[in-house]
Structure 1
Amino acid sequence: MAYHVNFKGEKVIPVEESQTLLHASLAAGIPHYHACGGKGQCTTCRVLVLQGPEKLTPATIYEQAIKRVKKFPDNVRLACQSYVRGEGIEIHRLIRDETDRYIFIDSNEVDTKTVMGEQRKLALFFIDIRNFTPFIEASLPFDVIHIMRRIFALFQNAITQYNGEIIDTAGDGLYAVFGLGSKIKQAAEAAVLAGLKIMEDIKIFNNTYMRPYFNHTFEVGIGVHVGKVIVGNVGIGLSNNLTVMGYPVNIAARLQAATKELNNSFVISALAYRLLKNPPYAVGCSYLNLKGVSTAYEVKLIGNPYELKQSMPAPSIT
């Protein structure tokens, strides 16, 4: 059986009992924003019910959870969670503009999951080059670029060898993810193996190239964590750039930064460490109070102490 719902200022549409408001509005050509794909995990499809709230099915557990956090009034509902059970409903979409229409209706993008975002469990990998600032200060600009290319090639080779994906680079650091094509346990293993390979490759690079030709050596700081993140595309034409965002990403970045204070080149969260089938020897463990994180994080130290920690002035460490 079909009922009719008035989308105020837009159109009156038929809604079958088996359809959510979101499903019916999209079928009717209304560019209804739904960033999570209609799974009750965001608020972008929310509507204001102007008439007939009692003609909609009761709020689901997803709506109740969001309402507790966002403090929405009772007449604000998620279209992806609401089914119609009678006539006389009038609603107003709360998020709507032409940009939404382009992204979700007019765009030729084939993979809608990539456009809207998809929740995935991934291993998150951050790496930073230590003692790079002193090298910049003592070297010619083209030498710096040349060495950065060599080092980033080492990073890329190790990451791609273990099926990782580089997401972003910034200065002398890099952010990658593992698990886009595998389970989370395999992803954690791959991230650790890539990190261990990079540390070994840096040693070889120092001994065979940096010391003989530039009288300098490098070390790295690596942080690895696992968790649920949103994988999507920023959609602005920059080489189809993949974006991975979420709270666990911030944790991984802070673990990498903590390698300095812990004086160990590879810090992995205990959560990720427990996923490893053949975990490397941990020289120690610690509980970190990370900036912006309410609870202390247990971490394992699976790298090496920094050789230059005492001799390098703190302001020069990057």
Structure 2
Amino acid sequence: MTDPAARRRSILWRTRFANLFGAVMAFVYFRFIDPVTSGPGVTWIEIVFSAAAVTALMIIGARFNARWAVPMLTQPGSTEARRRALLFPWAMAGSTLSAWVVAGVIFGVVGPLLAGWFTVLSALRTVIGITAVGGLVTAAIVFFAIENRWRQELPGFFPAGDLSAVRGVPRLPVRARLLVVFLLTSVGPLTLLGIIAWRRGRLAAADPANAGIVLGEMLAIIAFFIVGGLVAAVRLSWVVSDSVAAPLLGLTFAMARVERGDLGAHCPVVSNDEIGAATEGFNRMLDGLREREAIKETFGRYVTREVRDEILAGRVSVEGEQREVTVLFADLRDFTPWVESSEPRQVVRDLNAYFAEMEAAIRAHGGLVLQFIGDEIEAVFGAPVPAPDHAARAVRAALEMRARLATWNGGRSRPLSHGIGVHTGSVLAGAIGSRERLSYALVGDTVNLASRIEGLTKQVGADILVSATTARGLDGGVALDPLPAVRVKGKSAEVEVFRVV
């Protein structure tokens, strides 16, 4: 049943059937099973009076409930509507019990007064009997039946599942639910049976001649309570068990989806008891997991997935530490003339495409792009995740960058060229910056020398140059062409470099 109007009609009909069941039970009990509280006999006037009273009570109750529900229909997102949505089963059960109390007064006091056979004892027994036998059980059935059906409506009032945020609403714990069902279906009927057996025993002792009749009436009363109690017990037990099992089943399915890696799962919160609190906690946990996953994905835009996972798992320190790494610098050639002769938006698109290709090559070999500086790329191999073959990884990445640039230039009218410098050495690596912003960075002479070697590429006419320390870290699978030692800015000694063929 997915139509909201159909569900609400179902709620109204459940209330009517519950009240009809209670009315029939009370009438049969007080008229045919325990006639000691009744008048001389059933008359048409009494039948008409009873029908009119029941109809009037049902109309008044329906109007009260409809007026009480106006804020939920006209202002579904308001605080008052949300509060009344949680109170709706209580209001329906309360109006039902009130109607039964009024019915007890009508049939126990008003009716006998009009009929002329009123007694105080008979009135008290009728009022208490109608309220206890019919009213409490009917109100309980109405509450649990409506609450069970109304749970399908609550997500509309609480899309975020924040039922616990509404104050001033009674909470019925699961233990209390089970206790109510036990009292109404076991203790209550047994208590009434004990009282009736005691009273019937006194009547039989006072009039031994009619003991057989009294015994027959007592057997009829016992049969009545067995049948009526069984029907009420089955109905209440079914509804209450469903109110516990259904949300737990939904929670179980949602947990299974999360276990399969589906963080888009959501479990509707349909009650404000312990199960509702557990469901709210589950949804908050999912929100936290989704937020963490978003952070991971965002973090993964700045570092490789492997580096991201290592850092989040706590296996990599981002505090300052001395590391042996290989640093790679790449820089576009003739960048300024190209920018001056091209449309700005086209320059940005081409730069982004170039950086995407180069970063893919670096990531493919376990490198980490530290930053993009204008048209320059700075990358590191061997940090923050250690890699014994970081020098070989860096050179293989440089070769793939060369190949990717050639492929990318194939579709361009104006090809671009770049120079790549690679150097291996010791650096200070860690999270460097201010309180508001940190970045994983390298500090040391190794970084400066790698940048200087990249600057030599244009001077010597090579696209990839590596230092002697990097060359010593290779496994021989890369062809190198030694060049004359050169002097670079900031270095007193000459630097050996090799062209990568």
- Report the TM-score range of the alignment, normalised by the length of the smaller protein: 0.5 to 0.7
Pick from 391, 394, 398: which aligns with 1:195? 398
Aligned to 2:386: 182
> Structure 1 segments of 4 or more deviating over 6 A?
none
- Which residue identity does 2:355 align to in structure 1? F
Aligned to 2:355: 152
SS in 1 for 2:404: helix
Pair 1:114 & 2:318 matched: yes
Larger helix proportion, structure 1 or 2? Answer: 2
CA distance in 2, matches of 1:238, 1:190: 33
Aligned to 2:451: 253
Pair 1:137 & 2:335 matched: no
Following TM superposition, by how much is the alpha carbon of 1:154 offset from its aligned partner in structure 2, in angstroms?
0.7
Aligned to 2:460: 262
Aligned to 2:496: 298
SS in 2 for 1:125: strand
Q: Which has the higher contact order (CA 8 A, sep 6+)?
A: 1
Counterparts in 2 of 1:142 and 1:298: CA distance versus 1, 3 Å: same
> Which of these two proteins has the greater Rg computed from alpha carbons?
2
- Which residue identity does 2:497 align to in structure 1? V
Deviations 1:243-281 (A, max 9, x none): 111011111000000001111011100111111013421
Counterparts in 2 of 1:235 and 1:136: CA distance versus 1, 3 Å: closer
Pick from 446, 466, 470: which aligns with 1:272? 470
Matches within 5 A, 1:36-185: 114-115=318-319, 117-180=320-383, 181-184=385-388
CA distance in 1, matches of 2:392, 2:436: 30
- Which residue identity does 2:432 align to in structure 1? V
Following TM superposition, by how much is the alpha carbon of 1:203 offset from its aligned partner in structure 2, in angstroms?
0.5
TM-score normalised to structure 1 length: 0.56
Percent identity between the aligned chains?
30
Larger strand proportion, structure 1 or 2? Answer: 1
Counterparts in 2 of 1:144 and 1:228: CA distance versus 1, 3 Å: same
Counterparts in 2 of 1:111 and 1:193: CA distance versus 1, 3 Å: closer
Following TM superposition, by how much is the alpha carbon of 1:283 offset from its aligned partner in structure 2, in angstroms?
3.2
Counterparts in 2 of 1:230 and 1:204: CA distance versus 1, 3 Å: same
CA distance in 2, matches of 1:190, 1:174: 16
TM-score normalised to structure 2 length: 0.36
Unaligned runs of 5+ in 1: 1-109, 304-318
Deviations 1:79-127 (A, max 9, x none): xxxxxxxxxxxxxxxxxxxxxxxxxxxxxxx899523x10000001000
Aligned pair count reads 187
Pick from 260, 282, 286: which aligns with 2:484? 286
Following TM superposition, by how much is the alpha carbon of 1:182 offset from its aligned partner in structure 2, in angstroms?
3.1
CA distance in 1, matches of 2:387, 2:368: 15
SS in 2 for 1:241: strand
Superposition RMSD in Å: 1.9
